[in-house]
Amino acid sequence: MSKEKKKKKESKKTIRVEIIESKPNGFYIVDLDKINPDEITTKDLEYRINIITGTNKEDKLIKIDLELDAFLINSSNSNKQELFGIKSATIFRTPDFDKVINEDVKVLAPDDFTKKLLNICIGGIRGMLAVNLVNTELSHITIPLLDLSGLKELKPIED
């Protein structure tokens, strides 16, 4: 294959992205007086994550808002006690917007692309949470790696 053909083929696969902004939008932690935080481990927690996406065609932006809540799993019954949560917003710019989003605001990019963006956002929220928990009795808690293989297609909504 000639260098030009190879370069064209690679450029079709390449999607350039830059992080414009990544910041927390809120954090909460419940009153820990009723539990013993020192005995809580990551295995005692269950997480719920909400993903909200949006796009801005004009500026070639993709926005991903994450909302992560942690629940203490009570083994004696099926109740889950909410412990803490955090929200974040991450904005990406891509000069290859037309390779990623079509006119109907449907994702054209491969699933790997959207999962990479989500992994970047989850890594960011993991760090934001560590900063917020550092001076609390839950400073030893970290968000485990999340399996995104069961995730459905990312469907941005036009802003």
Whether the model pTM is above 0.75: yes
Check if the beta carbon of residue 70 is closer than 8 Å to that of residue 132. Answer: no
3-state secondary structure (DSSP) of residue 23: strand
What's the pLDDT score for residue 157? 45
What's the pLDDT score for residue 115? 85
Split into its structural domains, the chain has a count of: 1
Instruction: Name the pLDDT band for 146 (thresholds 50, 70, 90).
Output: confident
What pLDDT, in 10s, does the model give residues 113-128? 888 899 999 999 999 9
Residue-number span of the structural domain to which 85 is assigned: 16-158
- What CATH number does residue 104 fall under? 3.10.420.10
Task: Report if residue 51 sits inside a domain.
Answer: yes
Candidates 68, 78, 88; CA nearest to 146 is 68
Q: Which one is predicted more confidently, 13 or 65? A: 65
What's the pLDDT score for residue 151? 64
Candidates 22, 109, 8, 27; CA nearest to 69 is 27
Provide the mean pLDDT of the chain.
82
Task: Report if residue 144 sits inside a domain.
Answer: yes
CA 139 to each of CA 42, 60, 121, 129: distance values in angstroms, whole numbers, following the listed order: 11, 38, 21, 9
Q: What contacts 53, CB < 8 A, 6 or more positions away? A: 62, 63, 64, 65, 154, 155, 156, 157
Task: Report if residue 68 sits inside a domain.
Answer: yes
What pLDDT, in 10s, does the model give residues 18-50? 999 999 999 999 988 878 888 888 888 999 999
Predicted confidence (pLDDT) at residue 74 exceeds the cutoff of 80? no
Residue 105, number of CB atoms within 10 A of its CB = 14
Task: Report if residue 1 sits inside a domain.
Answer: no
Task: Report if residue 7 sits inside a domain.
Answer: no
Residue 88, number of CB atoms within 10 A of its CB = 23
